[in-house]
Chain A
Amino acid sequence: MRARTLGQKLQLALRYAILCALSILFLLPFYLILRNALMTDAQITSPHWQWFPLQPHWENFRELFADKTAFMWVGLRNSAIIATTTLVLQMLFSSMAGYALARIPSRASRSVFGSVLLTLMIPGAVTFVPTFAMMAWVGGVNTLWGVIAPGLFSAFSIFLFRQFYLGFPTEIEEAGMMDGLGYAGIYWRLVLPNSRAVLMSLGVLAFVGTWNTFLWPLVVGQNPSSWTVQIVLSTFLTGQTVQLHELFAAALVAVLPLVVVFLFMQRYIVEGITFSGGKE
């Protein structure tokens, strides 16, 4: 490190000060969830601000999961099923298509890729009403598969996998060809195991996106049996009477899994965003 002048030192100190202040601001909402989740309603609404409950009310969580009208278990279970299914199947379908578009020569390759690019430009705003109509027609409303199905297919991830496989080393496939493997064998035994990093990156992003998505589950899952955890939160929020302590306990339960995923998978998530953000 080169020596700094006094002015540069001051500037750096100022920068650290601003960053620290912003960090506190960014972490505040997390603190507020935790604080309120461990308080009674009376403590939360008390005019005397308490920075942290002296006796944390952990029983709020037990109460939340015991509350038959909250549907917390159902929401968590549905969200886990929906996000996991989407993660696995979207990665499989997209990587297959992306691999074929990059590596299997076909007369249709150009037109198939062209249509992928075309669907990339369709915003969700235009499709959600007719997709609901279609779902109602085939009986997918209020079912888990109705919530899941549209999210399994993503033009964007097909596009990203194609870009990835364009730069994939050909030696691996050539070795497979020598061993007499067909495209399916090469893909399954050689290409997929060697794409672990990109599968992780885009997979985590798909999982997070699906867990947090709101509009489609709201539209198609009107019955509590098909609610995701986000719909549970929203219903809580817009309900007739609000149980504040349960509400914040629910928020904590909904947010915590993803915060953990983010902390442990940060490297992959950052790679995924970098990979997809630069491709626009």
Chain B
Amino acid sequence: MTTTTQTARDGENRARKRLGTELSFWGFVTPAMAGLVLFMAIPMVWGFLLSLSRAQNTIHFGHFIGVRNYTDLLTDPEFLNSLWTIFVFTLFIVPTTFVFSLWLAIAVHNIPRGKAFFRTVFFIPTAVSYAAASLIARMSFYSGQSNGFANHIIGLFGLAPIQWIGTASPPWYWLVLVSVRLWLQVGFYMIIFLAALQQIPRSLYEAAALDGASGGFTVFRYITLPQLRAATVSVLLLNLIAAFQAFDEFYNILGGSGSSSGNIGLARPPLVYIYNVALSSQDFGRGAAGGFIITFIIVAFTLAQSRLFGFGSAKEGR
């Protein structure tokens, strides 16, 4: 056997092997990637074309009307109201969730006994769906009747029953919406903080103690908080994105029963607005445009937040 045929065969083998590897790669990624194209990429394009079309009572695009759907939305007081609603909601829910879950994590982390018990108790509501939590809030906990739980408790102090959900002023429904979401999600974010707290090296606290920093708040401010930077960014971001897309509890707590429209007029978030426009009024063009506006706002906030906290720092913190 001469050396030339040897190298030629080697080259052929290598080429075949590389082809085999490429084929394996595609065999492995195709199911997932085909799905992402089908349910992410195509809907994005379809949605964009719909948003530029007059698509009432039809799911098809083609009757192009430029940016009319967008301008209609941005001049519709109901849509602007929904944006305002979600800003207020986000303003309430993001800081409260952050403080509450961080406090819980630190408290649970620093107790000598019962860690597992408390962690489980605060975490278990995460198992409950928004639909079920809304049901409990609306029909039992915050029920406007005197037999509602909250009204029973304030009744013990001689206070009259409160319409927690049904009145515009005072806006008790914000308390209902915020507390339901807090109950459902603080346990989840507490877990993220707990994991991050366990990563902080003990030596840092010992060094701080040597330097005379014994006060709880000083240690928290200069050691714990900076060390939790990655977790903080992650918690704020996840929470913000979820808050902007709130739908379930608004729909189920404020939504109408039977033929009445219920109390959704008090606080209709953008996703409920889009749902009503697209699925009830069958205006798919306008619904799709609304989706893009919300996405634009989410992306803008995400970028602003990343800039605020620094992009690379998420990695540094670990």
Contacts and interface: CB of A to CB of B under 8 A. Distances in A.
B304 interface: no
Nearest to B193: A277
Contacts of A88: none
A45 B147 CA distance: 6
B46 A130 contact: yes
Interface in B217-261: 230-231, 233-235, 237-238, 241, 244-245, 247-248, 251-252, 255-259
Interface in B266-318: 270-271, 274-275, 278-279, 284, 287-288, 290-292, 294-295, 298-299, 302, 314, 318
Nearest to A253: B132
B258 A239 contact: yes
Contact of A49 (B141, B152, B183, B241): B152
Given A107-B22, A182-B24, A112 B294 contact: no
Given A45-B145, A127-B40, A129-B287, A26 B122 contact: yes
Given A182-B24, A270-B191, A129 B136 contact: no
Contacts of B213: none
A40 B203 CA distance: 59
Contact of B271 (A187, A212, A215): A215
A15 B21 CA distance: 58
A136 B255 CA distance: 25
Interface centre among B36, B44, B152 (most CB of A within 10 A): B36
Interface in A234-249: 234, 236-240, 242, 244, 247-248
B46 A237 contact: no
Contact of A104 (B21, B44, B134): B21
A240 B107 contact: no
B279 A26 contact: no
A273 interface: yes
Contacts of B183: 26, 29
Contact of A23 (B27, B35, B118, B235): B118
B135 A130 contact: no
A266 B235 CA distance: 20
A101 B245 contact: no
Nearest to A131: B43
Chain B, interface size category, equals 35 or more
A93 B62 CA distance: 34
A132 B292 contact: no
Interface in B127-185: 127-141, 145-147, 149, 152, 183
B188 interface: yes
A107 B21 CA distance: 10
A36 interface: yes
B156 to A, nearest CB: 9
Contacts of A164: none
A261 B133 CA distance: 18
A214 B25 contact: no
A80 interface: no
Nearest to B140: A32
B288 to A, nearest CB: 5
A280 B25 contact: no
Interface in A6-38: 12, 15-16, 18-19, 22-23, 26-30, 32-33, 36
Given A29-B125, A242-B257, A244-B139, A273 B29 contact: no
**Smallest CB-CB A-B distances: 5 pairs:** A153-B35, A130-B47, A100-B28, A212-B129, A133-B59
20 contacts: A16-B111, A29-B140, A94-B32, A104-B21, A129-B290, A130-B44, A130-B288, A132-B278, A152-B35, A187-B28, A214-B130, A230-B132, A234-B252, A237-B138, A237-B255, A254-B129, A270-B195, A273-B191, A277-B195, A278-B195
